[in-house]
Amino acid sequence: MTAIIPSASMPGVQSPRLGSLPPLSLYIHIPWCMKKCPYCDFNSHEVRGGNVNMPEAEYVTALIRDLETALPQVWGRSVTSVFFGGGTPSLFSARSIDAILTAVRALLPLEHFAEVTLEANPGTFEVKKFADFRAAGINRLSIGIQSFNPRHLQSLGRIHDGSEAHRAIEIARENFDNVNLDLMYALPHQTMEEAQSDIETAAACGVTHISAYHLTLEPNTLFHRYPPPLPDNDLSAEMQIMIEQTLAQGGYLNYETSAFAQPGRESRHNMNYWLFGDYLGIGAGAHSKISFADRIVRQMRYKQPRDYLAKTSPDMTAFDSPIMEQHEVERNDRGFEFMMNALRLTGGFAPEMFMERTGLSIDSIQQQLDEAERRHLITRDYQRIAPTLTGRRFLNDLLQIFLPE
Nearer to ligand SF4, 36 or 287 (CB): 36
Q: Rounded to an integer, what distance in angstroms lies between the CA atom of residue 102 and that of residue 60?
A: 11
Shorter beta-carbon distance to ligand SF4: residue 277 or 305: 305
| 69 near ligand SF4, judged by CB under 6 A | no
Question: Pick from 15, 25, 44, 221: which binds ligand SF4 (CB under 6 A)?
Answer: 44
Does residue 33 belong to the site contacting ligand SF4 (CB under 6 A)? yes
Q: Which stretches of 92-232 are DSSP H helices?
A: 94-107, 127-136, 150-155, 162-175, 192-204, 222-225
Site for ligand SF4 in 288-327 (CB under 6 A): none
Count residues near ligand SF4 (CB under 6 A). 11
Burial class, 14, CB count within 10 angstroms (exposed 0-12 / middle 13-18 / buried 19+): exposed
Q: CB under 8 Å to 268, separation ≥6 — which residues? A: 80, 81, 115
* 3-class secondary structure per residue, 51-106: CCCCCHHHHHHHHHHHHHHHHHHHCCCCEEEEEEEECCHHHCCHHHHHHHHHHHHH
Check binding of 213 to ligand SF4 (CB under 6 A): no
Select from 21, 42, 320, 356 the one that contacts ligand SF4 (CB under 6 A): 42
How many residues are present in the chain?
A: 405
Structural contact between residues 155 and 199, judged by C-beta atoms closer than 8 angstroms: no
C-alpha–C-alpha distance, residues 62 and 311, integer Å:
9
Is 86 a binding residue for ligand SF4 by CB under 6 A? The answer is yes
For ligand SF4, which is the closer residue by CB, 110 or 118?
118
Rounded Cα gap, residues 140 and 193, in angstroms: 30
Q: Is 40 in the site for ligand SF4 (CB under 6 A)?
A: yes
User: Is 342 near ligand SF4 (CB under 6 A)?
Assistant: no
In order, the DSSP letters of 10-24 are PTT-PPPPPSSPPPE
| Selected binder of ligand SF4 within 22, 87, 188, 305 (CB under 6 A) | 87
Site membership for ligand SF4, residue 286 (CB under 6 A): no
Write down the least CB distance from residue 53 to ligand SF4, Å. 16
DSSP 8-state class, residue 404:
-
Q: Closer to ligand SF4 at the Cβ: 88 or 208?
A: 88
Nearer to ligand SF4, 121 or 321 (CB): 121
CB of 50 to ligand SF4, least distance (A): 12
CA 236/CA 224 separation, integer angstroms = 18
88 is a site residue for ligand SF4 (CB under 6 A): yes
The distance of closest approach from Cβ of residue 65 to ligand SF4 in the complex, given in angstroms and rounded to an integer, is: 24
Q: Site residues for ligand SF4, window 114-133 (CB under 6 A)? A: 121
**Does residue 181 touch ligand SF4 according to CB under 6 A?**
no
* Cβ neighbours for 213, distance < 8 A, ≥ 6 positions apart: 182, 183, 184, 185, 258
Radius of gyration for the chain, computed over Cα atoms and rounded to the nearest angstrom? 21
Question: To the nearest whole angstrom, how small is the minimum distance from the Cβ of residue 344 to ligand SF4?
Answer: 21
Binding segment for ligand SF4 among 29-37, 108-116, 147-155, 230-238 (CB under 6 A)? 29-37
- The residue (of 190 and 368) whose beta carbon lies closer to ligand SF4 is 190
What secondary structure letter does DSSP report for 5? P
Given 36, 166, 167, 380, the residue binding ligand SF4 (CB under 6 A)? 36
Residues at the interface with ligand SF4 (CB under 6 A): 33, 36-37, 40, 42, 44, 86-88, 121, 144
